[in-house]
Each structure stands twice: as structure tokens, then as C-alpha cells.
């Protein structure tokens, strides 16, 4: 992973991810040094992941593969459908396919919460290394139960994107919020609803994120995701993420939000100002820096215009 960041929670997320991957690689290297005979999947997976269900699932995934350490993506999808469709408990058409597609995407992603990281392996296959990292990344004890949890989140996500999105947002409270992983796509949808064309939907989304701020696990992941999303080239993603951080009372991100004052987009600058000022004294000091920087930028632009006129 080549992406760099100065935001400490993001750095921790990256370091934790690298530690997970290093742990699996260390186990493989030790096995190669200790064993002369062939290494099996059960040797590589740590004891906590070496359950009968996981081993049987992986064995079936690799039936058509030339190696026990990777399988084709379509083979994994077929095995998921065969073994775990009953765990989805679909409430909408096509929900199973969406859940399994999301699981495959998450297996192949380079990092849990940082947006826009490119896959480090071929999208056409899944490795045992990726499976092991994924199971530990999300603290998966039972793959079937994890798929049920993914299914619930997929249903919530679909509801938030539908015509009854305001109702779906108002229903997201307490246990419903704490049961979300949450996935990046869920967080992205919540951010987008901050700037929905329907003002009542915007308010419902803000209230929902305000309630979610009280859930430590949700907030810690959302803080990383939204702060990194401030770096997006998409102004709407920046604006939605900025307002989401306001709802989460994310004073940790105040300096990065203040940087949005440099934007040429007025709506984004207003969102940054609104968010920063909501952070109290710390926000007010950041706003003063923003205001001073903006004044200096205007003066510099004016001087450049004067110079251009003089040369003409």
C-alpha cells in the first residue's frame, strides 16, 4: 500500500492492516523453514480460523484450482451461494447476489476503511492469504453469522438509497447502528445523504450520524473513512464527508477540514466553515487560520492580476 497520510487514526488503520498481513506471511515463512512436506490450508490458517466450516468452505472453493492456496473468484462466489444462501435471509430481490459480491470485494480490498485503495492482487482470484486477513480484519468467529450481518447491512444500505430513505434513517438507532460493520459503502451513502435534494432527508441523515457518534466502534471507523474522503477529487464527496464529520463531532479532523477553505467551490467552503465553527474553541482557532489564509490567497491573486496588467 503506497498511500500516505498525516492523519494519525488513518496511520493506525494502515499499520494495523500491515500487521495483520505480516502475521500471515510470518506464519508461512516459518512453515516453509520447519516443514519439508507439503503445506496445507489448515497449516497456514491460525487456530482461531481453523474451524471445520472454514476449511470445508475453502476446500470446495479450490476444487478447480491448481493450488490449495488460491481459487478463482467465480468459484468462491459459487461456493458462497451453495453453502450460505440460507444465511442471507433476503428481504429484497437480488439481495444474496449483492451480499456475496460485497464479500468478494471486501476480501480483495487492500485495507478495511481507507477509501480508493487499489486492489493489490488480481480481481480474478482470491488467495488463502486474503481470506485469513479478512477473517481477522473483521474479527469473524463464524463465517455464516458474518454473512448474516453483511446481509442486514446490505438491506439497510439499499433502504437508504430508496424512496423511503428518510424512514430508513429514522429507524437506525441503538442496536441497529451497533450491528453495522460499517462498510465503506454504507458510510459513503450516509455522507451523500447529508447533501440530498430533500432537506428533510438531510436532517434525518445528520440525526442518524449524530446518534452513531455515541457508538465507539462505528465512530472510530467513520472518523478514518470520512477524513480520508476529504482528499477526494469529487467535491460532493468532500462536502458530504465534511458534514458527516460535523455530526460525529470529529474535532480530531479540524485541521484537514480547515484546509477545504482553499477550495474554489463555495458550497464546500461553507460546509468547512460550518463544520469547523461547530467544534467550539478549537474550531474557532482553526477558523481564524482559515480566514487569514483565504485573505492571503485573495491578496496574492490580486497582486498577480496587477502584475499581469503592468506587463500588458
- What DSSP assignment string belongs to 2-23? ------HHHHHHHHHHHHHHHH
| β partners of residue 72 | 125
pLDDT at 32: 76
Render pLDDT for 190-226 as a digit per residue (tens, 0 to 9): 999 999 999 999 999 999 999 999 999 999 999 999 9
Whole-number CA gyration radius for the chain = 23
Beta-strand runs (E) in the chain: 70-72, 125-127
Cβ atoms of 241 and 188 within 8 Å: the answer is: no
pTM (whole model) above 0.95: no
Q: What is the pLDDT of residue 11?
A: 82
Of 33 and 191, more confident: 191
User: What's the average model confidence in pLDDT over 178-200?
Assistant: 96
User: What is the predicted pLDDT for the residue at 13?
Assistant: 84
Question: Tell me, what's the pLDDT at 243?
Answer: 97
For the chain, the residue count is 312
Tell me what pLDDT residue 4 has. Answer: 46
Instruction: Quick: pLDDT tens for 51-106.
Output: 999 999 999 999 988 888 899 999 999 999 999 999 997 778 888 999 999 999 99
Is the pLDDT reported for residue 187 higher than 70? yes
Question: In the predicted model, is pLDDT for residue 111 greater than 50?
Answer: yes
Task: Tell me how far the alpha carbon of residue 85 is from its chain's centroid.
Answer: 25
Q: Which residues contact 157 (CB under 8 A, 6 or more apart)?
A: 183, 185, 186, 189
The candidate with the shortest Cα–Cα distance to 229, out of 5, 1, 31, 18, is: 5
Give residue for cell 469547523: 276
More confident residue, 45 or 61: 61
Number of separate helices (H) and strands (E) present in the chain: 16, 2
- % the chain with pLDDT above 90: 58
The stretch 108-126 carries a mean pLDDT of: 78
Q: Is the pLDDT of residue 122 over 50?
A: yes
pLDDT per residue over 267-282, tens digit each? 999 999 999 989 888 7
What ranges do the domains of the chain cover?
Answer: 48-161, 167-175+184-302
Instruction: Provide the pLDDT confidence category of residue 2 given band limits of 50, 70 and 90.
Output: very low
pLDDT of residue 306: 62
Chain-centroid distance, C-alpha 206: 19
Across the chain, mean pLDDT equals 88
Residue 105 cell numbers, joined: 470485494
Per-residue model confidence (pLDDT) at position 90: 75
Please tell me the predicted confidence (pLDDT) of residue 301: 65
Cα–Cα distance, 180 to 168 (Å, whole number): 14
> What is the per-residue pLDDT for 3?
43
Summarize the confidence of residues 38-54 as an average pLDDT.
87
**Domain 167-175+184-302: which CATH number of 3.40.50.2300, 3.20.20.100, 1.25.10.10, 3.40.30.10:** 1.25.10.10
Amino acid at each position: 500500500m503506497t498511500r500516505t497520510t498525516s492523519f494519525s487514526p488513518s496511520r493506525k488503520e494502515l499499520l494495523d492492516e500491515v500487521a495483520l498481513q505480516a502475521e500471515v506471511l510470518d506464519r508461512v515463512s516459518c512453515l516453509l523453514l520447519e516443514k519439508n512436506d507439503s503445506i496445507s490450508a489448515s497449516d497456514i490458517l491460525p487456530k482461531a480460523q481453523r474451524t471445520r466450516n472454514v476449511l470445508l468452505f475453502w476446500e470446495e472453493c479450490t476444487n478447480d484450482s491448481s493450488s490449495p492456496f488460491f481459487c478463482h473468484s467465480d468459484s468462491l462466489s459459487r461456493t458462497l451461494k451453495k453453502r450460505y444462501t440460507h444465511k442471507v435471509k433476503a428481504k429484497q430481490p437480488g439481495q444474496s447476489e449483492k451480499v456475496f459480491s460485497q464479500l468478494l470485494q471486501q476480501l480483495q480490498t487492500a485495507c478495511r476503511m481507507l477509501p480508493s485503495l487499489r486492489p493489490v492482487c488480481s480481481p480474478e482470484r482470491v488467495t488463502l492469504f486474503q481470506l485469513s486477513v479478512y477473517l481477522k480484519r473483521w474479527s469473524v468467529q463464524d463465517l455464516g453469522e458474518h454473512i448474516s450481518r453483511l446481509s442486514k447491512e446490505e438491506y439497510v444500505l439499499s433502504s437508504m438509497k430508496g424512496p423511503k430513505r428518510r424512514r430508513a434513517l429514522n429507524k437506525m438507532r441503538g442496536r441497529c447502528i451497533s450491528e453495522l460493520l460499517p462498510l465503506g459503502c454504507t458510510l459513503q451513502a450516509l455522507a451523500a445523504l447529508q447533501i440530498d435534494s430533500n432537506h428533510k432527508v438531510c436532517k434525518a441523515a445528520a440525526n442518524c450520524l449524530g446518534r452513531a457518534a455515541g457508538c465507539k466502534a462505528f465512530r472510530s471507523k467513520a472518523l478514518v473513512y470520512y477524513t480520508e474522503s476529504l482528499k477526494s477529487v469529487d467535491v460532493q464527496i468532500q462536502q458530504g464527508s465534511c458534514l458527516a464529520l460535523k455530526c460525529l463531532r470529529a474535532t480530531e479532523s479540524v485541521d484537514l477540514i480547515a484546509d477545504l477553505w482553499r477550495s474554489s467551490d463555495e458550497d464546500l467552503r461553507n460546509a468547512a466553515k460550518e463544520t469547523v465553527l461547530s467544534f467550539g474553541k478549537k474550531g474557532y482557532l482553526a477558523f481564524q487560520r482559515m480566514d487569514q489564509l483565504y485573505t492571503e490567497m485573495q491578496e496574492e491573486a490580486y497582486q498577480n492580476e496587477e502584475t499581469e496588467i503592468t506587463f500588458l
